[in-house]
Amino acid sequence: MSKNLRIGFTAAAVALALTSSVRAADVVKIGVNVPQTGFAAADGKSALTGIQLAVEKANANNGINGKQIELIVYDDQASPKNSVPIATKLANKDKVAVAISGSYSSPTRAAAGVFQRSKVPYISAFAVHPDITRAGNYVFRTSFVAEVQGRAAAKLVGQDLGKKRVVITVLKNDYGKALAAGFNSVAAKYGIEVVNSYEYSIKDRQFGPIVSSIKNDNPDAIFDTGYWFVSAALVSQLRAGDVKAQIVGQEGYDGEKFIEIAKGAAEGVIITTSLDRDSADADVKAFMTAFKAKAGYAADMVGASGNTAARVAIAALRAAKSTDHEAVRNAIAAVKVDAVTGKISFNALGEVFKNVQVQIVKDGAWHRHSIIDDPELLAPPSK
Amino acid sequence: MEYEISLLTVMGINIVLALSLNIITGFCGQISLGHAAFYGTGAYCAALATTQWGMSFWSGGLLAMVVAAIFGFFVGFASLRVRDDFLAITTMGVGFLFLGVVRQQDALGGEMGIAGVPGSGLGEFGFMILVLATAVLVIAFSLYIKRSWLGFAFDAIAQDQDTSRTVGIDIARFKLAAFVLGTAIAGLAGSFYAHHVRFVGIDSFGFIESISILAMVVVGGIGSIWGVVVVAAVLSVLPLWLQFVADYQLLIYGALLFSVMQFNQGGLDGIVRQLVRKWRAND
Amino acid sequence: MVHFELLVQGLVQGTIYALVAVGLTLVYGLLRILHIAHAGLFSLGGYIALLLANQTGSFAFGLACSVLLVGLAGMAIYRLAYQPILDKPPYVALIVSIGLYIIMEEVFRLVFGPSTISFINPPLQGIVEFYGIRLREVEIATMAVAILFIGGVGILSTKTRIGVAWRATVDDPEMARSFGVRLYSVRYFNFFMASVMAATAGAMVAVSNNMVEPTMGGVPAYKALAIIVMGGLGDVRGTLFAALALGIIESFGTIYLGSILDRDAIAFAFLIIVLMFRPQGLLVRN
């Protein structure tokens, strides 16, 4: 090889080495576990889109004190079997500064244990199970605990809507049952008589027997704790069965798909959630536009929650001015962030206090119905 | 290093689990589509034992094996009344029943599962050694079974139940033995799982899990020990090694099951044997 | 009154199960194969009917195409997946079928996306009322179709030459062949009929739920298996009876047993109980 060529190669090699190592040092890593395949893939896509939007915006604005953010994303298929090795990998191999869960309660709970043991800060975007933050002081949650949302729903149904005879239909998983428990815990306080309670599985799509029984119960309102892909059919069949009671759902319904499946039956359905589509807030509006452009469908609660969790992580990283895990954890604990789902700050347990947005389906789309902001009612657990 | 330790631990657990099914399906020809139920039984026992009943990691593990074996005994008993196709569906039913019962009982964790399962007390590295040592033991045990009179009987039953009966082999006893042994070992794998993941929930023990375990046995070569070990080790960590595979993981499992049964029922073991024969013939 | 409604609901659900299960038992009766991939054809039927209906605005067209295409697909599955392994032990076909079903489910997810797809204009949504019971048009249509098909299969097998050939092939293939029955034709016809029924069930369920999703075949798959075992493998009448019985038991079970047992588990609990006392199946006269 000629001398010039050798010099050229060496120079190129050195340059490459320098730039790649410089690039490596220039990056702050945020880990994400999210369901990209499996039954929860649709929600996973929303969550990830929300997170990506926050990261892209931050990177366009000087990143984390000059360093770009790198998202390391793994598919947990909404299963603890996968989320645990993923958490181990993110914490020990990829050495992320902070991790976000864009997944459901079960996998998040399992992963939380790993992150807590490895002392890596972990933020749960929308998983509701109470035990998640009880894993330890490195775990935070930017959405409602199930009980809080359940309680808010009880106030909504009993006091705000004035419905006293209520039937509860419960999705049989940790999410659905925790919500129902929250509702039941304060139902009496708002004058609600729970006439009957039914349970169904996440795989059920045919609710004939339940519809018939509810017709017989003749309640004023039905509180349902299912996800959109199960409950849309339930709501349809309830209306087809001539059940005229007010249907109250929760953030599991939040999204375009619910209306797409339930069609006319969705009209008038009210839910407790975290995203206000009719918000006048410029930030929220900008988010919704950006989300639709990126994902191809309208923003939903899951996407908004992902976005919020990412914003918290970014704000904390900026404030901490380092990627040392303890410093980041402390920064998260002290953070005050304005997000599309509300103003975020944490209590000692890592739980957040924010208002509950109540949305209603009107003319085939989600719109604002009201806001619940009772601080005592919405007080998150502190231990 | 922790990540690699975690990978090896997962591999070890899956090897133990796959070999346990190999005893039932591989050696004795009983197709079980509900093996995850025994895996789950062991996991739940270990979890409950160490979180609620104050037992130690070791006694919890023993309990896991015993309970899984008792459960396996009853299912084995049921298998006596039915043959082949019926058995496959019945074992599938057992799998669903197990889930159906556990998810309704809050005492067993219900929909929430059981969290906060403690570690083994041996540290991550120590636990990995224990799991791998167990895998080696199970391999040795499987070899022993295969080469002993027990294996001979299993083999005969797998080949032809009627003739075995005429020759005097007490089918019932051996089928039961296969079930009890296989399910006990699956229970042990379950207890390892519980202490590794530190969380047991019904999601991890469903029909898909049973099929995954079956896939390891089938693709490795039903009855083959080394084939099952290799395939179990590879399949269990493949999606973690290659994340892009994760999206296609199930598709790959399905394709493997389909292809192996279509083209070479001997699985990996069969393919290797064929290659070896060809190579020898060409010499 | 509620109880009568629950009964009717159970029958409605039972007819959907029957449409799927009868096809499955036809295949088993002929070839001793547990054709789990049948559930994949159920899903395919739903997808094709819905997507074509959305494209062309006509559900009738979507249904017709779906039935035809899935019928052909069923025959193709026989030829490509089962015929090569007919001489192997039964577990081979079982595992091939499971693998095939998983492949189909995953292909649906990769091609059509993981989320649900709904009708732009859901058909058969009207309500029909009689004796105080409200039924949706789709539910009545499903029952009508089920009676048509299953009744048709019954008449076909007893009153026509094809049917006789069919039954002969089931009882004794070699003897049938020696009498001039063309085995392959019978087998293709068998798979075609079974798949047509599965596709119809899938399309009806798609209308009833107003959605199709990649995993929609899962539940019918294993319930149909439980049903055909209870009905006595290969026995059409027994299968029909077991399907309706399961529908009714589930209907009452969801309400009264809901706290003890999961709905899916009910099917298998029922199965295991039946097998313990009548291992040969519910109606098989032995």
Residue whose tokens read 């249509």: C141
Check: complex ipTM more than 0.95: no
* Interchain CB contact of A345 with B (< 8 Å): no
Any chains having at least 3 CB pairs less than 8 A from chain A are B, C
Chain B neighbors of C81, CB-CB under 8 A: 258, 262
The answer to whether residue A1 is domain-embedded is no
Provide the pLDDT for residue C130: 80
- Candidates C27, C36, C80; CA nearest to C193 is C27
State how beta strands A98-101 and A122-124 pair: parallel
Nearest CB to B247 within list A37, A89, A174: A37
The average pLDDT across C12-30 equals 91
The answer to whether residue A381 is domain-embedded is no
The pair of three-digit structure tokens given for residue A377, joined into one six-digit string: 């009612």
- As a whole number of angstroms, the distance between CA B257 and CA C36 comes to 13
Residue A72, min C-alpha distance to chain B (Å): 11
Provide the pLDDT for residue A20: 42
Residues A132 and A184 in one domain: no
Over residues C100-132, the pLDDT tens digits come to 999 999 999 889 988 889 999 889 888 888 877
- Helix (H/G/I), strand (E/B), else coil: C174: helix
Q: Regarding predicted confidence, which is higher, B248 or A67?
A: A67
Residues with Cβ within 8 Å of A159's Cβ and at least 6 positions away in sequence, in order, are A190, A191
Provide the pLDDT for residue B197: 86
Chain B neighbors of C100, CB-CB under 8 A: 254, 258
Residues A176 and A256 in one domain: yes
Residues A136 and A16 in one domain: yes
Query: Among residues 214-253 of chain C, which lie with CB inside 8 Å of chain A?
Result: 215-216, 218-219, 250-252
* Interchain CB contact of B240 with A (< 8 Å): yes
Q: Residue C81: what are its φ and ψ, rounded to 5°? A: -100, -40
The average pLDDT across B197-204 equals 85
The answer to whether residue A250 is domain-embedded is yes
Residues A285 and A136 in one domain: yes
* Interchain CB contact of C2 with A (< 8 Å): yes
State how beta strands A139-141 and A122-124 pair: parallel
CATH topology of domain C2-277: ABC transporter involved in vitamin B12 uptake, BtuC (1.10.3470)
Query: Among residues 92-111 of chain A, which lie with CB inside 8 Å of chain B?
Result: 92-93, 106, 109-110
Residues A254 and A298 in one domain: no
Chain C neighbors of A206, CB-CB under 8 A: 13, 16, 208-209
The pair of three-digit structure tokens given for residue B259, joined into one six-digit string: 């292809």
Nearest CB to A88 within list B3, B116, B203: B3
The answer to whether residue A124 is domain-embedded is yes
DSSP one-letter string for A198-246: EEE-TT----HHHHHHHHHH--SEEEE---HHHHHHHHHHHHHTT--SE
Provide the pLDDT for residue C159: 75
Q: Regarding predicted confidence, which is higher, C223 or B37?
A: B37
Cβ–Cβ < 8 Å for A273, A250: yes
What length is written for chain A? 383
Q: Regarding predicted confidence, which is higher, A42 or B160?
A: A42
Residues A114 and A256 in one domain: no
Per the structure, the complete domain to which residue A363 belongs is given by 147-273+358-372
Residue type, C96: V
Chain B neighbors of A81, CB-CB under 8 A: 197, 203-204
Quick one: closest CA in A to C105, which residue? A38
State how beta strands A246-249 and A270-273 pair: parallel
Reply yes or no on whether the pLDDT at C18 is more than 90. Answer: yes
Residues A204 and A343 in one domain: no
Burial class (CB in 10 A: 0-12, 13-18, 19+), C164: middle
Quick one: closest CA in A to B247, which residue? A37
Residue type, A74: Y
Nearest CB to A106 within list B1, B110, B201: B201
pTM greater than 0.90 (yes/no): no
Distance of alpha carbon A227 from the chain centroid: 13
Residues A178 and A241 in one domain: yes
- Candidates A121, A113, A117, A167; CA nearest to A142 is A121
Residues A26 and A51 in one domain: yes
Chain C neighbors of A242, CB-CB under 8 A: 127, 134
Residue whose tokens read 């659900």: C13
Size of interface A-C (CB pairs under 8 A): 94
Any chains having at least 3 CB pairs less than 8 A from chain B are A, C
Over residues A330-367, the pLDDT tens digits come to 999 999 999 998 888 898 888 998 889 999 999 999 99
- Candidates C138, C128, C66, C101; CA nearest to C217 is C101
Provide the pLDDT for residue B84: 65
DSSP one-letter string for B129-192: HHHHHHHHHHHHHHHHHHHSHHHHHHHHHHH-HHHHHHHT--HHHHHHHHHHHHHHHHHHHHHH
C87, C98, C103, C105: best to mutate for the B interface, most B CBs within 10 A:
C98
- Candidates A145, A150, A141; CA nearest to A345 is A141
Residues A235 and A364 in one domain: yes
CB spacing of C103 vs B255 below 8 angstroms: yes
Ranges of each domain in chain C: 2-277
Reply yes or no on whether the pLDDT at B216 is more than 50. Answer: yes
State how beta strands A221-224 and A165-171 pair: parallel
Chain A neighbors of C136, CB-CB under 8 A: 240
Chain C interface with B: residues with Cβ < 8 Å = 28, 32, 34, 81, 84-85, 88, 90-96, 98-103, 105-107, 110, 222, 225-226, 229, 233, 259-262, 264-269, 271-272, 275-276, 279
The answer to whether residue A4 is domain-embedded is no
- Candidates A150, A121, A125, A151; CA nearest to A135 is A121
Residue whose tokens read 């085995």: C183
Over residues A122-143, the pLDDT tens digits come to 999 999 888 899 989 999 999 8
- As a whole number of angstroms, the distance between CA B270 and CA B276 comes to 10
Over residues C177-201, the pLDDT tens digits come to 777 777 778 889 889 999 999 999 9
Residues of chain B with pLDDT > 90, as a percent, come to: 33
CB spacing of C91 vs B94 below 8 angstroms: no
Reply yes or no on whether the pLDDT at C277 is more than 80. Answer: no
Specify the DSSP element, H or E, that contains A249. strand A246-249
Provide the pLDDT for residue A23: 46
Provide the pLDDT for residue A59: 93
Provide the pLDDT for residue B165: 61
- As a whole number of angstroms, the distance between CA A121 and CA A327 comes to 10
Quick one: closest CA in B to A84, which residue? B197
Query: Among residues 222-281 of chain A, which lie with CB inside 8 Å of chain B?
Result: none
Classify each residue of B223-238 as buried b or exposed e, where b means 16 or more C-beta atoms within 10 Å of its C-beta: bbbebbbbbbbbbbbe
Burial class (CB in 10 A: 0-12, 13-18, 19+), B148: exposed
Provide the pLDDT for residue A318: 93
The answer to whether residue A383 is domain-embedded is no
CB spacing of B255 vs C92 below 8 angstroms: no
Chain C neighbors of B247, CB-CB under 8 A: 110
CB spacing of B2 vs A88 below 8 angstroms: yes
Give the number of domains in chain A: 2
Q: What is the CATH number of the domain that holds A300?
A: 3.40.50.2300
Reply yes or no on whether the pLDDT at B83 is more than 70. Answer: no
CB spacing of C210 vs A38 below 8 angstroms: no
Provide the pLDDT for residue A315: 94
- As a whole number of angstroms, the distance between CA C283 and CA C286 comes to 9
Residues A65 and A133 in one domain: yes
Residue A290, min C-alpha distance to chain B (Å): 26
Q: Pick left, alpha or beta for residue A58 (phi over 0 → left; psi -120 to 50 → alpha; otherwise beta).
A: alpha
Residue B185, min C-alpha distance to chain A (Å): 20
Cβ–Cβ < 8 Å for A289, A339: no
Measured between alpha carbons, how far is residue A147 from residues A129, A132, A165 in Å? Answer: 9, 13, 21
- Helix (H/G/I), strand (E/B), else coil: B113: coil
Q: Regarding predicted confidence, which is higher, A235 or A241?
A: A235
Quick one: closest CA in C to A233, which residue? C209
Nearest CB to A216 within list C2, C114, C209: C2
Cβ–Cβ < 8 Å for C98, B257: yes
Reduced 3-state DSSP string for A62-84: CCECCEEEEEEEEECCCCHHHHH
CB-CB neighbours of C121 under 10 Å: 11
Residue B193, min C-alpha distance to chain A (Å): 9
What length is written for chain B? 283
Residues A100 and A192 in one domain: no
Quick one: closest CA in B to C86, which residue? B262
